[in-house]
Amino acid sequence: MSPVISATVKPLAAMAVAIGLLAIGLAALGANPAVTLTALLSGAFGDWLAVADTLLKATPLVFTGLSVSLAFSGSIWNIGAEGQLLFGALAATACGIHLARWSHVAAISAVLGAGAIAGALAGALCGWLRTRFSVNEVISTIMLNFIALQAVSWAVHGPLMEPSHSYPISQKLPAAACMHWFFPPSRLNCGLLLAIGLAPACYFWLYRTNSGFELRAVGRNPRATAFFGIAAGPITVVAMALSGGLAGLGGAVQVCAITQRLFERFSPGWGYEAIAVALVARLNPLAVVPSALFFGALDNGAQVIQRTQGVSPVLVQAAQGLIIFVLLAFDTPILARGRSATLPHHKQPADA
């Protein structure tokens, strides 16, 4: 099987298997799988508003999915897209509420810039900690997720709290800092276009530039890159900054395009779902877009079947998790007949 085909077939097969398992789960719970899955599908794509909603649900997943696939491509396990997204949303809100008198373009640029920078700083911090003090980035990024959560909570209870001080939400962003909705009542906006545009940019950086090459090489064989004088430290910090910046930008877009304000539980876990999105996309930035759409559709459909069929959306989340398991199973040597290129190469007996 050619690599391109196997890279496409495996995720699709995994999705199919997971949906099959979801159907079994539905049947076990006494729901009619056919009816429920049809409802899920029409919830996600039934009419143009449903499609719009699916696209909107996918947008933050594209940003965070790109963030994760960039870092993972260098074997940097950034689990902190969630926190980086929240920092981005926080910075975007804090900046945006003061920009009432700015022009639309300038205000939007400033808000998005603030979000990206905040996320990049959070990411770069973890990259630097790994480089300088060998702090495992999995731990530092997860910890920073909690800090980000608390920071948002503190902000909406304190400095950013809306003027009447009765709700733990921020003040609404001024119109200048809010993205235009193209086709009300849908909230379709420029954010999705930005996200889709960033996918090829990420791909270009990873696969066409020297620094992207260095990141992938360091991730695959740090001993070889060290021998040839590629320093792992700087590229790790750069990759984490880019990764964090993408997630932060996703948070900023969410604020100025959809919610127009900040509140607690701002993210339903986009940063974590992004890991699934990136893995299903095989860390390929171009594939992140369809992968995010798939997960966005499931999220959207899950809400609909909860309303119409009384089926808990938790079941759909479980199915999303199953996809990863099925994908991993496809990669095990038994199923891949021992020719998986992702497995580390067996050391030749050096003293033979």
Partner 1 sequence: MQNLLEACAITKHFGATVALDAVDFSARAGEIHALLGQNGAGKTTLMNILAGHLRPDLGTVTLDGVAIKTASPQTALRAGIAAVHQSPMLFEHLSAVENLALGGFVRRGLALNEVAERAGAMARSLSFPVQLPPKNLTGLSLAQRMRLEILRALSFQPRVLMLDEPTGLLAPGELSGFLDLLRALRNRGCAVVFITHKLAEAMAVADRITMLRAGRVVDQTSPPQTTIEQLAALMLGNAVELARPKKSHRRGAEVLRLEGLSLEVDGVALVDEVSLRLHAGEILAIAGVDGNGQRELAEILACSRRPTSGQILLHGQPAGARAMGQIAVVPQNRDQEGLIPGMELWENLLLSPALRRQMQTAGVQRRSAAIALCSVLLKRFSIRARSPRQKAADLSGGHRQRLMIARALASRPAVLVAHDLTRGLDVSAAAEVSRIVREFADQGGAAIMISTDLDEVFGLGDRIAVISRGRLFEVPTANLTIERVGLLMAGVGQHR
2 interacts with partner 1 by CB under 8 A: no
232-253 and 270-280 are packed helices; what angle lies between their axes, rounded to 10 degrees? 120
| Angle ∠(61,64,67) on CA atoms, nearest 5 | 145
Looking at the DSSP bridge assignments, the partners of residue 161 are 170
Number of residues this chain uses to bind partner 1 (CB under 8 A) = 26
Report CA-CA distances (Å) from 138 to 7, 70, 71, 78, 214: 26, 15, 11, 6, 21
138: Cβ contacts below 8 Å, ≥ 6 apart = 77, 79
Compute the least distance from the CB of residue 99 to partner 1, in Å. 34
101 interacts with partner 1 by CB under 8 A: no
Compute the least distance from the CB of residue 244 to partner 1, in Å. 21
What residues between 224 and 253 interact with partner 1 by CB under 8 A? 224-230
Report CA-CA distances (Å) from 129 to 74, 134, 137: 16, 6, 8
Q: Which residue in the set 10, 57, 130, 216 belongs to the binding site for partner 1 (CB under 8 A)? A: 216
Report CA-CA distances (Å) from 220 to 76, 215, 265, 342: 10, 9, 36, 10
130 interacts with partner 1 by CB under 8 A: no
Give whichever of 57 and 216 is closer to partner 1, judged by the CB atom.
216
133 interacts with partner 1 by CB under 8 A: no
Give whichever of 26 and 206 is closer to partner 1, judged by the CB atom.
206
10 interacts with partner 1 by CB under 8 A: no
Please give the biggest Cα pair distance in the chain: 78
Q: Which stretch binds partner 1 (CB under 8 A): 62-70, 216-224, 257-265, 326-334?
A: 216-224
Report CA-CA distances (Å) from 302 to 43, 71, 183: 8, 29, 24
Q: Which residue in the set 16, 220, 332, 335 belongs to the binding site for partner 1 (CB under 8 A)? A: 220
What residues between 169 and 208 interact with partner 1 by CB under 8 A? 208
221 interacts with partner 1 by CB under 8 A: yes
Which residues sit at the interface with partner 1, rule CB under 8 A?
208-211, 213, 216-217, 220-221, 223-230, 341-342, 345, 347-352
